[in-house]
Amino acid sequence: MTETSNIPTLSGDTKRAIDRRTCVVECVGNTPLLELKAISKEVEPVRIFGKAEWYNPGGSVKDRPALNMILEGEKTGKLTREKTLMDSTSGNTGIAYAMLCSAMGYKVKLCVPKNIGPLRQRILVAFGAELVLTDPTRGSDGAIEEAIRLNEAEPERYFYPDQYSNPANWQAHYQSTGPEIYTQTSGAITHFVAALGTTGTFRGTGTWLKEMDENIKLISFQPDSPMHGLEGMKHIPTSIVPAIYDESLADENRWLRTEDAQAMCLRLAKEEGLLVGPSAGAAVACALDVARSLSDGVVVTILPDGGLKYLDFLFWDKK
């Protein structure tokens, strides 16, 4: 298997135009694909790989769609210097927005559930974001509702990309994540596993992979209950369903317990030397479960972010 460097190749024009904007923007994407050799020992000869999305400059997979939505806003003229980018987020997309807007010279205002935690709030504020803290009992749905209310009240004031409805979200993964994975596995990928949140990662990456090879199996997964601890993920049956969600795309959908995701985070740290967030632990737990049903194959999943933002979660204290 091959890996692509996370250091971009810049064109002559880009090199001449380097400033604080391109230094961040040009580093989005081209993340490493890591073989999880210790975890894969359980299912040999099946091989399991994870896309290390914390290599993005904002530390998560959400840098890809956030950048694409901003660029699309510029292209269409909906995002101007006079407007404030405003959207709802449960964490990582907000960090991506705030980082990119800081680098690109835009103001940003974010609706976030009050319980996202002080560390993530500090990161957002450090990048210059204005926060609107929403009812924690309503989760990401409450933040979505507040963002809609703010935009409807003052549409001339805001650029509202609406990550749950914006095609530029999933198209970012169609343009980058899918092709990267196919190249990094030399076309050997047999199964793609990804979580459902905004659903952009699964739709964009899965659509591209399926177009390249219709035999690649696409497996989506989501929390097994409405009351879960997997930030950024949706229990679709009880949530506001993202407009970009394509229910027909998955060959199979699976359900995952929060406890299994947390247990895999501990395993990945101790066995693979990878400190990842709960959504990445969930992804590997699901990928391993898929691999157990195979006699051969290459299973690839997305590791959305690293674990540093989650070290205040109590599950890390477990032995």
CATH of the domain at 41: 3.40.50.1100
Check: CB of residue 296 under 8 Å from CB of residue 46.
yes
51 and 73 belong to one structural domain: no
Intra-chain end-to-end CA distance of the chain, in Å: 34
Does the residue 233 lie in any domain?
yes
Select which of 40, 51, 60, 62 is catalytic. Answer: 62
Domain end position, chosen among 159, 192, 211: 159
Q: How confident is the model at residue 5 (pLDDT cuts 50, 70, 90)?
A: very low
Does the residue 53 lie in any domain?
yes
Percent of the chain whose predicted confidence (pLDDT) is above 90: 80
Neighbour count for residue 42 (Cβ, 10 Å): 11
pLDDT in tens, 93-119: 999 999 999 999 999 999 999 988 888
pLDDT at residue 4 is higher than 60: no
42 and 67 belong to one structural domain: no
114 and 263 belong to one structural domain: no
Does the residue 239 lie in any domain?
yes
Q: How confident is the model at residue 231 (pLDDT cuts 50, 70, 90)?
A: confident
33 and 79 belong to one structural domain: no
190 and 310 belong to one structural domain: yes
Say how far apart CA 297 and CA 191 lie, in whole Å: 7
Mean pLDDT throughout 283-293? 98
Q: And the tokens for 197?
A: 């949140």
Domain end position, chosen among 102, 128, 159: 159
177 and 278 belong to one structural domain: yes
211-218, long-range: CB < 8 A, 24+ apart: 212/178, 212/182, 212/187, 213/187, 213/189, 215/190, 216/189, 216/190, 216/191, 216/192, 217/190, 217/191, 217/192, 217/251, 217/252, 218/191, 218/192, 218/249, 218/250, 218/251, 218/252
Mean pLDDT throughout 50-77? 96
**Which residues, 6 or more positions from 48, have their beta carbon under 8 angstroms from its beta carbon?**
35, 36, 39, 40, 284, 287, 288, 291, 299, 300, 301
Check: CB of residue 49 under 8 Å from CB of residue 36.
yes
Q: Give me the residue label for tokens 């990842």.
A: 276
State the amino acid at position 137 in one-letter form. T
Neighbour count for residue 106 (Cβ, 10 Å): 21
Does the residue 219 lie in any domain?
yes
Q: How many domains does the chain have?
A: 2
Q: Is 318 a catalytic residue?
A: no
Does the residue 5 lie in any domain?
no
305 and 183 belong to one structural domain: yes
Q: State which residues form the domain around 152.
A: 63-159
Does the residue 1 lie in any domain?
no
Q: Is 140 a catalytic residue?
A: no
115 and 197 belong to one structural domain: no
144 and 216 belong to one structural domain: no
pLDDT at residue 2 is higher than 70: no
Q: How confident is the model at residue 232 (pLDDT cuts 50, 70, 90)?
A: confident
Domain end position, chosen among 128, 159, 190: 159
Does the residue 191 lie in any domain?
yes
Mean residue pLDDT across the chain: 91
Say how far apart CA 120 and CA 141 lie, in whole Å: 18
pLDDT at residue 179 is higher than 60: yes
270 and 146 belong to one structural domain: no
Does the residue 267 lie in any domain?
yes
Q: Is the pTM of this model over 0.75?
A: yes
Select which of 88, 90, 279, 309 is catalytic. Answer: 279
209 and 298 belong to one structural domain: yes
Which of 88, 78, 84, 81 lies closest to 110 in space, CA to CA?
88
pLDDT in tens, 28-47: 999 999 999 999 999 999 99
